[in-house]
Structure 1
C-alpha cells in the first residue's frame, strides 16, 4: 500500500522536461506581455499620427480612413524641428565626449592603481547616483547664472556630464578590472608608460564598454527635459523635448498632429539605440564578472 501511494506521489510530480516546458512558456509569456506594453503605444502613436482628431475620437484603434500624411510632412519640412534635432544632437554628443573621456581616466585609476582612500573616493562618486537633477536644480541654476551660462549650451552640457560620471565610472571600472594584469606587465616591459597602456591598449580593448556608456549618455541627454527647460529661454537653443512641449501647447486641440510630432521626436533616439543595441548589451555583460 505504501509503495502504491509513493508511486502515485512520484507519478504526480512533473518531470524535468515538463518543468522546462512550463518555465519556457512562462518566460515567453512574460516577454510577450512586456513587448506588447512597449510596442502597442508606439503603434498607436504612429498610426494615430496619420489620422485627424475626428478619427482619433471616433475610431482611435482603427486604420486611418482617409490617411493624413500631412501631419508628418509638415513637421519634417519644418525648419524649427530640424534646428531642435541639431541642438539635441550637439548637446548629446558634447555631453557624451566629456562624460566618457573623464570617466575613462577616472575608472582607469580606480581599477588599475592601488592608493590610500581609493575605495572611499569611489564610494563618493557612486553616491552621486542618489542625486537627480531635480534635487540640485536651484543651486545649479544660481551657479550657472553667476557663471553666465544661461542660454548657453555649456549650461546643459557640463551639468549633464557631471551627473553622468557616477554610472559611467562604475561600468568602466568593472570592465577595466577584467583586463589581466599580465597584459599591463607585458606592456610595461616593452617600455609602455601607464598612460601609453591606457591609450594604446586598454581603450581599444574596452570598445564594448565605451560603446555602452556612450549609448547611455546620448540617450539620457536626448531625453533630458528638465535641465534644458530651466537653462534655455532662447528658442534657438531649444532641444527636442522642449519642442514637444512647445508643440503640444500650440496644437493641444490637434491630438493627431501632436502624436506625429512625438513619434518623429523619438525616431532618432530609437534608431541610434537599435543600431547600438548589440554593443550596449555586450558592454554591460562584459564587466559583470568583476566589480
Structure 2
C-alpha cells in the first residue's frame, strides 16, 4: 500500500507544471509604470537634500553633498505644523462624519424594505458621477450664506457630503451580506433595532468601515479645490494650500520648496502604505457581498 502511495505522489509531482512567468513584455510595462509613478516622488524627496546651485547645475543629479538645512528649516517652522494640524482636524472630522452618517444610511438601505429604497440607493450611486468641481460654485454660495467662509467647518461639511456616496456604495453590500438569521435570533433574545445595530452590525462591518474611513481620510487630506475656494486666511490653510502658498512665496528657493513638498506628502504616503491591505480587503468584501 505504501509503495502505491509513493508511486501516486511521484506521478502527481510529475504532472504538476510550474507556474507560468508570463510574457516579459508585461513585466517591462509594469516596471515602466512603476518608474513613472515613483520617479517624481523620489526626485522631490532627493531634491530637498540639495542646494539651489546643485539643482541649477545638474537638475537630475544626486545630492553632493547632502544638505539637511532645507528639511530642518521646514520641520522646525510653526507654519508647517500649523497646516499639519489643520489638515488633521479636517481629515479626522470628515472621516468621522462620513463614516457615521454613511453607516446609518447604509444600514437602513441594506436591512429595511420600504418604497423608494432602490431609488435612494441609485441616488447615492449617481453622486459618484458628480465631482466636486461641478458643484464648486453652488457650494461656495451655500457656504458663504451660512457664514462658514474661511473656517474649517466650511470645508468639513461639504467634504462629508461628497464622501457619502462612496461610503454608502461600499457599506451596503457588507450589511446586506449579514444573514437574516442573525437578526432574527437577536430579536428573539430581546435585542431591539438600535441595539442590534450597535452590537452586531458595527462589529460585523468593521472591514468595510475601515476601508471607507481610510478613503475618506486620504481624500480629505489631499483635497485642494474646495479649501482653495473656502479658505483665505493662511492661518487656516491645509497642507495642499500650504504647499501652493509656500511655493509662491519661496519660488526662487527651489530646494526648500521641494523639502516642504516632501514633508507634506509623507503623512498621506505612510498612511496609505500602512492600510493598503485594509483597503483592498474591504473593497473585495464589498464586491463579494
Normalised by the length of structure 2, the TM-score is 0.90
1:289 and 2:280 correspond: no
Find the counterpart in structure 1 of residue 149 from structure 2: 150
State how far apart, in whole Å, the 2-side matches of 1:56 and 1:17 are.
Answer: 52
The alpha-carbon deviation at position 166 of structure 1 amounts to 0.4
Alpha-carbon shift at residue 38 of structure 1 (Å): 2.0
The 3-state SS of whatever aligns with 1:35 is helix
Aligned to 2:256: 257
Partner of 2:111: 112
Matched, 1:43 2:42: yes
Q: Can you give the 5+ residue segments of structure 1 that lack an aligned partner in the other structure?
A: 1-15
Q: Distance in 1 between matches of 2:285 and 2:169?
A: 13
Give 1:182 deviation, angstroms: 1.7
Distance (whole Å) between structure 2 residues aligned to residue 33 and residue 280 of structure 1: 25
Unaligned runs of 5+ residues in structure 2 are 1-15
Aligned counterpart, 2:87: 88
Judge conservation of contact 1:176–1:206 (CA < 8 Å) in 2: yes
Deviation of residue 268 (structure 1)?
0.9
Q: String of CA shifts for 1:168-213, please: whole Å, max 9, x gaps.
A: 1000011111212222122112111122111111111111111100
Q: Which residue of structure 2 aligns with residue 59 of structure 1?
A: 58
Q: How far did 1:27 drift? A: 4.7
Could you say what the CA RMSD is over the residues aligned between the two structures, in angstroms?
1.7
Deviation at 1:17, TM superposition (A): 5.8
* Deviant stretches of 4+, over 3 Å: 16-19, 25-31
> Secondary structure at the residue paired with 2:65?
coil
User: Structure 2 CA distance, aligned partners of 1:109 and 1:179?
Assistant: 13
Secondary structure (helix, strand or coil) at the match of 1:67 reads coil
TM-score calculated relative to the size of structure 1: 0.89
Aligned partner of residue 22 in structure 1, secondary structure: coil
Distance 1:30 1:108 in 2: 43
Aligned residues of 1:178 and 1:287 also touching (Cα < 8 A): no
Please state how far the C-alpha of 1:66 moved relative to its aligned partner: 1.6
Give the secondary structure class of the aligned counterpart of 1:288. helix
Q: Does 1:173 align with 2:189?
A: no
Match of 1:138 in 2: 137
Q: CA deviation at 1:21?
A: 2.8
